[in-house]
Amino acid sequence: MMESFRIGVKRAFDLYSRGLKDRVIKERLERNWEPGHRDALVSATRKLEEFDSKNPEPLTGSKKLEKDDLESTLEMLNLMDKKARESDPGPIYDVVLFHDGQYWTCIVDTSETGDLENGLKLRSFRETGDYGPLTQVDKLNVSMNVFDGGDVLQIVGVCSSHGTHVASIAAAHYPEIPEQNGMAPGAQIVSITIGDGRLSSMETGTALARAASHIMRAEHYKVDVINMSYGEHSHWSSTGRIGSLMGEVINKHGVIWFVSAGNDGPALSTVGTPPDIATNSVIGKNSLERPTLGRAGARLWTETGAYVFVRPCTLKCTQLMNGTSMASPNACGASASILSGLKQKGRALANTASFIEGHCPYAQGNGLIQVEKVFEHVVEHNQNEERDVRFSVSCNSGAKGIHLRDVNANKASEYTVKITPILLDQENQPADRKIKFNLKLAFLCDALWVKCPKHLDLMYDGRHIVLHVDPTGLPPGPHSAYVKAYNTQRIDQGCLFEIPLTVIRTEPLKDFPRPCIELKDVAFKPGFIKRHFLSVPEHATWAVINVYSAEKAVSGKLFFTHVRVMENQKVVTLSETGDFSTGISVKGGFTLEVCLAKFWSNLGSINVSYSITFYGVKCDSKDIMMHGGEGIHRFQISSELHDEEIKLKNTVQVVRPSDSSISPLKERDILPNNITIYGLELVYNFSIHKAGEITPDIPMLSNVLYESEFESQFWMLFDSNKQVIATGDAYPSHWSAKLHSSSLLIFLYQVEKGDYVLKAHVRHEKKEILEKMTDLNILLSQKLSSPVSLDVHISHANASTMGKKVTSFNLPAHKKLPLFICPLNSDKYVKHLSGLGQYLSGTMTLAKDEIGKKCDVYNFKYIIPELPKKDKKTSDARKPKSDKPSTSETDGNDNLAQKKIDEYNESLRDFKVGWLAKLESSSEVHKSLYEELLKTEVGGLSNLQVKFAHLHVIEQILAALNSDEILVHMATKHDYSANAAEQKKEIEKKKTIYIETLSIKGATLLEKDLLLEATEVLFELSKFADATDSRIASFSFKHADKSAQYGRALKIQLKIFEEKASPDNYDKIIETLKKLSWDHATRHFSLTRPIKFPAQYELF
């Protein structure tokens, strides 16, 4: 018996991937929008044409308003159609959740009309296996989970076809069509979604931590093998909360974890994270494509590139995908089909893999998986003492191997390696097993440049050995070796663990005319890889790579990768006798890897010539920071041809949290042994004063995910109505919120200015660590409407006198020269600032050629000093100076005293006006006070006064204000009188009072149903302001609505909504659309209202 139910709202587009969303938008336009819009457009066009034929120009009075209404109707239709095609909020479903006595059940109203009987009904997939498509149009299969006693309903859909494709490779099962089977047909699959649709399907720390926790708790099933075809790049791999959890899943719970090695090109330093994490327990998988294209760093090799099944919403049966994401499930499926001890299995895969001659050794790792040999190996050795033991290898301060490059590759060295045995779930292993553990190890390495000990007696404790590495006799290029450890009592078992060594020796460069290398007519076959390791000259800051082909009848597709600190890659197609040039940023004294490969699926051979040339314009600092209050800033450059250019492109505001709270998270975030994860929620409030693009950045947590000590960081940006505008996580450069200049409809949600709330969520298992982060600030970067340039001078004298600025000059090689930067005039940046604590950021370039300008870029920050105070006497300072002597000090004091008296009288008048608003309009006190205020100068009255006036009093105010005087002043182009500024201020004040008083008169007339008189007021107002002016927009809308001119009313109301996006103003738009009989637009606005104005903030 159902006791209670809960109701919520869900946007379908929150579950859609980009491709599915685009398809559904197109179908929705054709089905829901275009028929009604076509009819409305034809009707509006016909009415305007009929009016023009009956009413020739010129038009006056009411006819002009009538035409304005028809033109506004057509304008609104065209504008809405244009924007509807740019953005669509998608279907918005009511969701009902209840407990039927046995299961939690949810019903999704996919009809959007309240037809729950025919809606999608789901129960927990784990308990019942329920799933189904949201609609027959999208064919997106979803399932549901319920958490926290029904407080949280989770509707789950996959954010791309990637997972289905991977699962098909691992375990597809078609008994009637065996050729479509996966590696382990019929294996039980547990699907855990770690991709977040809000981040374009990127994984999040929260999802990874919850997945690890779910697997470790094993409340409903025991997971044996994990495939993870996901990954990012990390800055280091020795630490990180996510890596620690992955290690716990493997080392304590005995789960085998396969990961993809990344798809960032064939260079040797492009393996991503994972497998490059703190633990060396995960098995990295590389891909074998025919012909091969791979990268080093993987432990195993498998075939990939498969036509297998994808999710139904793609409207495809199968799809070809290739890459290491497909290699990992291949190995995972192979592993799942082998029955053995879990930890033994990983070592068996490596010991039985087959190394394929003629293919890249760095891409293969231990070689190609051999399923039958693995099975035989496990059966033969599954009772060995070391079956459930993993060996942790740590070289020199935590490194997982020895990697020598730069200066270390040019000298002999000794390295200490620590070897530690780790039993599966060692915390719960009996002490006797640890005491009895003893292995006699023998070491073997076939590389002559490596010397290692012969034997080691290993107990259940860490032991150290010393390796001697002498790479000085090695030729240029990459070199690798392995020190392998064997059990002397069971040599046939194979290697127990290995210590990897890699040496990168650089190639010599030509010195004249510039440092470079050049190769001609290199034959590239499909999958052929050519690597170059170059020592970047000390003075170099960028390099230019030229690739060209002399083939007249052949074209080729090349994969180009370069690695210095972060890799970059390009896919280039060389046509007949084509060429390609690109620039890359380099750093002197370090090793640069440049790699070219012919794409594996691009058939045929092509001869390619290429060169790599180094250039340099060196500055004494890569990041330059200048404080505007310190005056002239000096920096030094050296070598080459220069053309200085400094442009500040962003204003950066430091925002501190307005609120913070720490709370223990609930059932999804509890680790084994009842370890609760805590969440820190930070709230930031700020205002955007001008349209633009903003990028929030939490600098303490940015640009780290797997290597972060925190489980997750995630932020959501909300507008003043609690609607989500943008989301982001660890990588601020990936996400930005575009805030545009015109706000019209929900489906083109844009704002010009407004108040915003950013909520950030940080997770950690220790509350005391989160307590230290409660005052964490964010940096809010907003693009300037136009870059601000700084002047650079060649001498301090020129800089101090604001003399001639330097443009370009030649500087002899190896010569150093100081340059000087002048501080900005405050007029250039004050208009871009919204408060204290801001700075301007941008770039500085020194190179003259265009490629150098793109590559050799220096970061530049301009710290803004205290903002200049507005001088109240500025207008007096601009007055023409008199030849007469200055007034005496006594006169000056008299003027000051009179000014204070005037300020007192004005404050007293404003105080009385304020009380006028609080008194009953029918009381004698109100009448007396009102008449008293009328006796004062009308032009100085507060705007509040007219709000309580009767029509006859309003007429007195309008007559006293003298509209002709206001119009004359508005028509005056230049006023050279001595008190021009004061007169302008006074007239503007009168103008505002006149406009608002006239608007109140018009509104009062409309309330009395005096439409003709109100129309005359509107005509009078048109002399002073546009109909959409915020001061008269309310009256203009009421007049248009009263006149049944709904096109004009809609245009005005949209402008009002732009100024203030409130629910009331939104509802007025809906009512106007109903009066226009635009059912398609009315339906859209009505269904969108809950999303536009949610009752509460969205959950993290």
pLDDT digits (tens, 9 = 90+) for 60-74: 888 899 999 999 999
String of DSSP letters for 240-259: -HHHHHHHHHHHTT--EEEE
User: Which pLDDT score is estimated for 271?
Assistant: 59
pLDDT(269) > 80: no
pLDDT(18) > 60: yes
User: Which pLDDT score is estimated for 602?
Assistant: 73
Beta carbons of 831 and 824 less than 8 angstroms apart: no
pLDDT(92) > 80: yes
Domain 623-649+785-863: CATH superfamily is Immunoglobulins (2.60.40.10)
| CA gap 879, 1062 in Å, rounded | 45
Beta carbons of 799 and 820 less than 8 angstroms apart: yes
User: Which pLDDT score is estimated for 5?
Assistant: 86
Q: Beta-carbon neighbour count of residue 781 at 10 Å? A: 19
User: Which pLDDT score is estimated for 377?
Assistant: 67
User: Which pLDDT score is estimated for 567?
Assistant: 47
pLDDT category of residue 874 using cuts at 50, 70 and 90:
very low
User: Which pLDDT score is estimated for 1049?
Assistant: 93
Stronger pLDDT, 825 or 334, i.e. the higher one: 825
pLDDT(984) > 80: no
Picking from 175-184, 411-420, 558-567, 1021-1030, which range would have the lowest pLDDT averaged per residue? 558-567
**Segment 597-625 mean pLDDT:** 81
User: Which pLDDT score is estimated for 307?
Assistant: 43
Picking from 8-17, 465-474, 884-893, 998-1007, which range would have the lowest pLDDT averaged per residue? 884-893
Picking from 95-99, 581-585, 636-640, 699-703, which range would have the lowest pLDDT averaged per residue? 636-640
Greatest mean pLDDT among 341-345, 405-409, 752-756? 405-409
Beta carbons of 184 and 337 less than 8 angstroms apart: yes
pLDDT category of residue 682 using cuts at 50, 70 and 90:
very high
Q: Beta-carbon neighbour count of residue 278 at 10 Å? A: 22
Mapped onto helix, strand or coil, the DSSP state of residue 494 is coil
Architecture of the domain defined by 384-505:
Sandwich (2.60)
CA neighbor of 210 nearest in space, from 665, 663, 669, 709: 669
Stronger pLDDT, 415 or 990, i.e. the higher one: 415
User: Which pLDDT score is estimated for 1037?
Assistant: 92
Average of per-residue pLDDT values in the chain: 78
CATH match of 516-616 with 2.60.120.680: yes
Q: Residue 173: phi, psi to the nearest 5?
A: -135, 110
pLDDT category of residue 522 using cuts at 50, 70 and 90:
confident
Stronger pLDDT, 30 or 736, i.e. the higher one: 30
pLDDT(578) > 80: no
What is the amino acid identity at position 531?
A: R
Instruction: Give the tens place of pLDDT for each residue, 276-317.
Output: 555 665 555 444 333 323 333 454 445 555 544 445 555 555
Rg of the chain on CA atoms, in Å: 37
Q: What percent of the chain has pLDDT over 90?
A: 18
Stronger pLDDT, 572 or 994, i.e. the higher one: 994
pLDDT(1036) > 50: yes
851: exposed, middle or buried (Cβ count in 10 Å: 0-12, 13-18, 19+)? middle
**Segment 530-535 mean pLDDT:** 89
User: Which pLDDT score is estimated for 263?
Assistant: 55
| CA gap 1027, 934 in Å, rounded | 29
pLDDT(106) > 70: yes
**Segment 1048-1052 mean pLDDT:** 93
Instruction: Give the tens place of pLDDT for each residue, 910-951.
Output: 677 656 555 665 677 767 776 776 666 444 444 434 444 456
pLDDT(633) > 70: yes
User: Which pLDDT score is estimated for 293?
Assistant: 31
CATH match of 905-1092 with 3.10.20.30: no
Instruction: Give the tens place of pLDDT for each residue, 178-215.
Output: 777 777 777 788 888 888 888 877 888 888 888 888 88
> What does the chain come to in residues?
1100
pLDDT category of residue 274 using cuts at 50, 70 and 90:
low
User: Which pLDDT score is estimated for 918?
Assistant: 56
User: Which pLDDT score is estimated for 258?
Assistant: 78
Instruction: Give the tens place of pLDDT for each residue, 757-801.
Output: 999 999 999 999 999 999 999 988 888 878 888 888 888 888 888
pLDDT(503) > 90: yes
CA neighbor of 630 nearest in space, from 361, 780, 821, 895: 821
pLDDT(861) > 60: yes
pTM of the complete model: 0.76
DSSP code of 656? -
Picking from 438-442, 758-762, 860-864, which range would have the lowest pLDDT averaged per residue? 860-864
User: Which pLDDT score is estimated for 376?
Assistant: 67
User: Which pLDDT score is estimated for 41?
Assistant: 93
Long-range contacts of the stretch 979-988 (C-beta < 8 A, 24+):
981/875, 981/878, 982/875, 986/939
**Segment 268-273 mean pLDDT:** 60
pLDDT(727) > 80: yes
pLDDT(611) > 60: yes
Picking from 57-66, 552-561, 727-736, 896-905, which range would have the lowest pLDDT averaged per residue? 552-561
Q: Residue 539: phi, psi to the nearest 5?
A: -85, -5
Alpha-carbon torsion angle 23, 25, 30, 32, nearest 10? 140
CA neighbor of 1021 nearest in space, from 1007, 1010, 1031, 1012: 1031
**Segment 242-255 mean pLDDT:** 83
Instruction: Give the tens place of pLDDT for each residue, 335-386.
Output: 555 543 334 444 566 666 666 666 666 666 666 666 667 666 666 666 677 7
Structure tokens at 372: 């039958």
| CA gap 864, 16 in Å, rounded | 44
| CA gap 397, 182 in Å, rounded | 42
Q: What percent of the chain has pLDDT over 70?
A: 74
pLDDT(507) > 50: yes
